[in-house]
Every structure is written in C-alpha cells, then in structure tokens.
Amino acid sequence: MLHRCATRSVAAQAGTTLPEIVIVLGLFAMMTAIAAPALTSARRAAALARATTHIHAMMRCGHSRAILRQQTEALVFERPNGVWRCFLAEDGDGDGVRHDDIRRGRDRIVGEIFELDGGGAGLGILQRTRIPDPSGRGWLGGNLGDPVRAGRGDIITFTNTGTATPSSIYFTNGADRMRVLRIYGPTGAVRELEWRRGWPAWRAAR
C-alpha cells in the first residue's frame, strides 16, 4: 500500500511539471522574440564601430609611414566585385599612388587588403532620409551612392610633409546609424563623427 501511494505521488509530481515547462518555454520564446531586434541592432552597432576603427587605424598608419619614410603613401579604396575593400600602397615611381601603377606593380601594396563586406555594417550612406552635412552646414549632398569622398577620386594620399587629401569616408549599419572619418588636409588629422536617425547634427564618436 505504501509503495502504491508513493508511485501515485511521483506520477502526480511529474504530471504537474509538464504545464510548467510549457509555460516556461512559451515565456522564453516570447522574451527571445522581443529581444531579437535589440540584439540585431547591437550587433550592427558593434560592426559599425569595428569597421571605422579599423579604417581609422589604417589612415594613421599611412600618415605615419609617409613622414617616417619620406615618401608618398596612400589609402586606396576600390570596389572590383561589388564589395568595397581598401589597402595601403606606397608610391614607387614618384608620380603619386595610382590605380594603373598598382596594377603594373610600380606602386606596391603594403600590408593587408581589408574587405568591408558584412557584419551588418560597411561603407555607405543611408538612403531615403535627410542627413545633416558633417560640416554643420545644410544637408549632405552630392552622390549619395558614393561613400568615399577623397577629392575627386577614391585614393587618400599622405605626403612626406604630413599633409593629406581632404576626405570624408562614410559608413552605415544599413538601418539607422552612420559614422564618418573626416581628414583635415593641411595636417592629415582624422576626426570620427557619429549620426543616428533623428539627430539634428553629427556628434563626436564614442
């Protein structure tokens, strides 16, 4: 009799846990669905920060190399297969870093070729929205399909005297945030700014 009562007690306990498990799983699924957009946004924001930090470091490297080696260096952007990439190159024939000289091997690629191809962020400008100009004057204009604005091309040149091509390189997470790296020509100094949808102006990136 005692054995039979114990069996019933265990079965009863087991029977009451199933609804509890179903409820817990339901709550977990609901919380996951609620948190998913926030997690996606956080991943995109982190990818955006990583991309700009990496390019910023490459800019500093090019600027330093040009002064230390007393020769022209450049950060070259290109999009050969629909994916943006960039790399540092050094002038090998005294006429500045040029795409055709790179192809011929006259200007040598230095270090890695960095591809900006994913992670929810990369080179780009948010579309279908008005974006303040980082200068603080009016709205961002020009070709909004071109995120690399280095003079009239896509090569940022660093000279042995410390000057650089005045440039603005735009990055986006593809949803609601942008960053820009702005190079001041006379000194080669780089400033990183951030903008989010709804902000009236750009702010210093954190």
Distance of CA 201 to the CA centre of its chain: 19
> What are 12's two structure tokens?
């009863």
Residue 37: which pLDDT band, with cuts at 50, 70 and 90?
low
| Distance of alpha carbon 49 from alpha carbon 196, whole angstroms | 13
Domain ranges of the chain: 47-204
Count the neighbouring beta carbons within 10 Å of the beta carbon of residue 127: 10
Sheet containing 108-116, strands listed edge to edge, beginning at the edge strand earlier in sequence:
108-116, 84-90, 73-78, 155-158
Mean pLDDT of the chain: 87
Q: What is the pLDDT of residues 111-154, one digit of tens each?
A: 999 998 766 789 999 998 999 999 999 999 999 999 999 988 99
31 pLDDT tier (thresholds 50, 70, 90): low
* 13 vs 21: CA distance, rounded Å: 13
Residue 186: which residues within 8 A CB-CB, separation 6 or more? 163
Cβ within 8 Å of residue 39, ≥6 positions away: none
Judged by DSSP in three states, 47 sits in helix
Q: Which of 37-51, 59-73, 103-117 has the lowest mean pLDDT?
A: 37-51
DSSP state of 100: H
Fold type of domain 47-204: minor pseudopilin epsh fold (3.55.40)
Strand 177-184 and strand 167-172: pairing? antiparallel
What pLDDT, in 10s, does the model give residues 162-199? 999 999 999 999 899 999 999 999 999 999 999 999 99
